[in-house]
């Protein structure tokens, strides 16, 4: 698990000098590596974290990171997919529904590095 979290942070640092790296901003969300090597999303530690290489193992230009976290203000879960393709990053977010009859809420954000 520690290797997985370190890999997630390494993905964020691709092509970015360590001294200039602060966080990644995707719309309303700020992604930042934590002191334990795990990811923090708006300061919240995800319940789960998964990394999937889209082409070949170790290919960080084509990777997907998945997170599940609970918003402490609302108590609702969010499913997040951070996808990097050819160096371009996108964050897809699905907010959990209160009941099965409620519409699904999806959001997509382009990500930029914050210095």
Average pLDDT (2-18) is 45
pLDDT at residue 102 greater than cutoff 70 = yes
pLDDT at residue 114 greater than cutoff 70 = yes
The pLDDT assigned to 21 comes to 52
Count the helices and strands in the chain (H runs, E runs). Answer: 1, 8
Q: Are 90 and 108 in contact (CB under 8 A)?
A: yes
Q: Are 65 and 91 in contact (CB under 8 A)?
A: no
Q: How confident is the model at residue 74 (pLDDT cuts 50, 70, 90)?
A: confident
């Amino acid at each position: 698990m520690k290797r997985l979290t370190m890999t997630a942070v390494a993905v964020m640092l691709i092509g970015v000098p360590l001294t200039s790296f602060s966080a990644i901003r995707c719309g309303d969300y700020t992604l930042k590596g934590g002191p334990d090597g795990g990811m923090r999303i708006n300061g919240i530690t995800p319940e789960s974290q998964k990394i999937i290489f889209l082409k070949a193992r170790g290919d960080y230009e084509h990777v997907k990171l998945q997170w599940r976290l609970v918003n402490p203000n609302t108590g609702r879960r969010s499913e997040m997919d951070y996808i990097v393709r050819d160096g371009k990053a996108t964050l897809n977010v699905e907010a959990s529904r209160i009941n099965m009859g409620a519409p699904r809420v999806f959001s997509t954000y382009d990500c930029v590095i914050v210095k």
